[in-house]
A and B are shown apart, each in its own frame.
Chain A
Amino acid sequence: MGMLRIISRRGDDRRLWNDQDALAGDAEAIAALREVERIFAQERARGATAFRVEAGKPVERLGQFDPQATQIIMVPRVVGG
């Protein structure tokens, strides 16, 4: 089970997916996974940066969506103030 959290003016928007169910061919899980991939790509195109954040592991920057990640946090585009 993975969670995509997108930092926004609403705090964060969350999307869940289940990689195992998608691999097993569950249509709903596949649709959810595709939707998360689409949102990931859309946010990246807007300049957001993605990080894999998992307990007990160092934070890692993600260039591409990883369906095996348990938690991905997307930070909106930042600029020098």
Chain B
Amino acid sequence: MDTLVYVALAIMVCVSLVLFWWFNSRAERRARQLLRAVLTEEQYRHLFQRGYLDIPSPSDPQRFYRVPRAHGRVHLIENEILQASLCLQPLDWVPEADFVVIHKLMIEADEQTYLLKANRIVPVNASRRIV
């Protein structure tokens, strides 16, 4: 009897893991499709080669935002100098590729709100060139 219970539990765990993997991989695939649709060919290649995407500020030609491909802080860079690290995230969990889409849309369409909402961490050594 005990053996049957253990086998049933093992099957349930395996099925749960497979379902979890399937759900996540489907979500990630759809997120990558959206990312591909939002970025240009060059931006998409740049993102996967270097691991980040540089988004120019719509309001200041000397400023750009470096958005990492994986979860992490966005760097605000002005005149090639890191000014701040910005942290902004959706309340609900979303696939990794969607983070880049969210940051890109918000920066390009509503930079002021983006800056107001993001938590800002100013580096101690703000004169460090990072480009």
Contacts and interface: CB of A to CB of B under 8 A. Distances in A.
A73 to B, nearest CB: 6
Interface size, A (range): 20 to 34
Contact residues of B: prevailing secondary structure: helix
Contacts of A12: 30-31, 33-34, 98
Interface size, B (range): 20 to 34
A64 interface: no
A2 B36 CA distance: 18
Contacts of A81: 87-89, 119
A73 B34 CA distance: 9
Interface string B22-54: 010011111101100110000000000000000
Interface stretch (B12-20, B59-67, B104-112, B123-131): B104-112
Interface of B: 23, 26-31, 33-34, 37-38, 58, 87-95, 98, 101-102, 104-106, 108-110, 117-119
Interchain residue pairs A-B with the least CB separation, the first 5: A11-B30, A81-B87, A80-B119, A11-B27, A59-B109
Interface of A: 5, 7-12, 47, 49, 51, 53, 58-61, 71, 73, 75-81
